[in-house]
Amino acid sequence: MGTKCGRWNPTAEQVKVLTDLFRSGLRTPTTDQIQKISSQLSFYGNIESKNVFYWFQNHKARERQKRRRKVLVDESINDEDMRIQFDNISSNKHFPEISTNHETDERVIETLQLFPLNSLSEYAETEKLRLFTEEYMRENMTFSCSIGAEMDHPTLDLRLSFFS
Amino acid sequence: MGTKCGRWNPTAEQVKVLTDLFRSGLRTPTTDQIQKISSQLSFYGNIESKNVFYWFQNHKARERQKRRRKVLVDESINDEDMRIQFDNISSNKHFPEISTNHETDERVIETLQLFPLNSLSEYAETEKLRLFTEEYMRENMTFSCSIGAEMDHPTLDLRLSFFS
DNA sequence: TAGTTATGAATGAACG
DNA sequence: CGTTCATTCATAACTA
């Protein structure tokens, strides 16, 4: 039991709640949501809002990481996605003069080579869907998460409404 | 070692100088200041202007983010905040031939006279104070930072005057 | 207990 | 300026 608490060690219950919220679609909680979540989760043990913040950042990033690797092994892209790629490429608006951007250039080429125009990308579609969903949720959704009696503690009501 | 030079990796000395400048009250350096800072810091290793620019943006944003999150945790507002504000106004006020980090009672009193206590109690007020301070500094202040001989290299003179 | 993995934390870069 | 994304660092937890 390594309670050398130099860093946050989430309890099983905390992880369960966070995971459930994530599975239910929550990806980038607002500051208010983070506050509420951490406040609720403090019931199960020490926790700060920054822990919640980092947890979602990491969880999202690592899910994306895995999927990205898979996509690289798999395949392709469609016209829509291509447009997105091109849009993303135009960066360095702030410091165009410095712009020693070999990396970007490489990525452009790489992208063009790896993803022919006429093929499909489930990544782009799911990403678009996710973004839409997130936007939709941000304005209309209430995330809730409850833990039942099987876990030997009172049920947690974790309703996180934007308007509450 | 982190020589994955895809992104800037600041040296300890660079971080120290930047931090000192920040603590002395510099928040949003002008283009000229950025130029001077990065030029001076290039002594310690590779650095570009944009690195300095981003460093200040990030440092400022994260300080605020941290404070914003903290506020909801401990409801009482911030001795820390207060002290920072005082630093902004009082430090180097009579000009930094030598940058001293003293926070003397005298200076605090002086500050208090300029900004009555009851106007500091609200966030909006401290924000106004900060903005004022920033504006004031922008036109009247010289930021300086020096690193002494204990660091195994020549003393760096980093006087950044708006008029120099 | 050394080596590996999972993951909390941090931060440079950049976007809206 | 607040927020988001990408990598990377650090270390608790796990495994051979």
pLDDT per residue as tens digits for the range A43-86: 999 999 999 999 999 999 999 988 776 655 554 434 344 433 33
d(CA A84, CA B2): 32
More confident residue, B48 or B95: B48
* Protein residues in reach of strand C (CB < 7 A): A 7-10, 15, 50-51, 54-55, 57-59, 61-62, 88, 90-95, 101; B 7-10, 15, 50-51, 54-55, 57-59, 61-62
Tokens of B69: 């999150």
Average of pLDDT values for B60-72?
A: 84
Tokens of A51: 């822990």
Tokens of B80: 């820390």
* Confidence at residue B104, expressed as pLDDT on a 0 to 100 scale: 32
The single-letter code of the amino acid at B158 is L
Q: Where are the alpha helices (DSSP H) in A42-121?
A: 49-73, 79-89, 102-114
d(CA B161, CA B164): 5
Average of pLDDT values for B31-40?
A: 96
Query: Searching chain B, which residue's CA lies closest to the CA of residue A47?
Result: B73
Residue A28 has pLDDT above 90, yes or no: yes
The torsion angles phi and psi of A107, rounded to 5 degrees, stand at -65, -35
Distance B3 CA to C2 C1' (A): 27
Residue A142 has pLDDT above 90, yes or no: no
∠ CA A24-A27-A32, nearest 5°, is 100
Please give the share of chain A, as a percent, with pLDDT higher than 90.
35
Nearest residue to nucleotide D5, by CA–C1' distance, is A61
Least reliable range by pLDDT among A51-60, B75-84, B88-97, B119-128: B88-97
* Confidence at residue B107, expressed as pLDDT on a 0 to 100 scale: 32
d(CA A55, CA A49): 10
* Confidence at residue B6, expressed as pLDDT on a 0 to 100 scale: 85
By CB neighbour count within 10 A (0-12 exposed, 13-18 middle, 19+ buried), where does B82 fall? middle
Residue among A31, A95, A103 whose CB faces B68 most closely? A31
d(CA A47, CA A43): 9
Query: Searching chain B, which residue's CA lies closest to the CA of residue A33?
Result: B69
Residue A40 has pLDDT above 70, yes or no: yes
A21/B contact by beta carbon, under 8 A: no
Interface test with A, best of B8, B69, B71, B75 (most A CBs within 10 A): B69
Strand C positions closer than 7 A to protein CB: 7-15
* Confidence at residue A119, expressed as pLDDT on a 0 to 100 scale: 36
d(CA B45, CA A41): 44
Give the residues across from B160 on adjacent strands: B143
B153/A contact by beta carbon, under 8 A: no
Distance B2 CA to C10 C1' (A): 14
Q: Where are the alpha helices (DSSP H) in B74-158?
A: 79-90, 105-114, 123-140
Residue B79 has pLDDT above 60, yes or no: no
* Confidence at residue B110, expressed as pLDDT on a 0 to 100 scale: 33
Residue B144 has pLDDT above 80, yes or no: no
Query: Searching chain A, which residue's CA lies closest to the CA of residue B62?
Result: A50
d(CA B42, CA B4): 18
Tens of pLDDT, residue by residue over A95-128, are 444 333 333 333 333 333 333 333 334 444 555 5
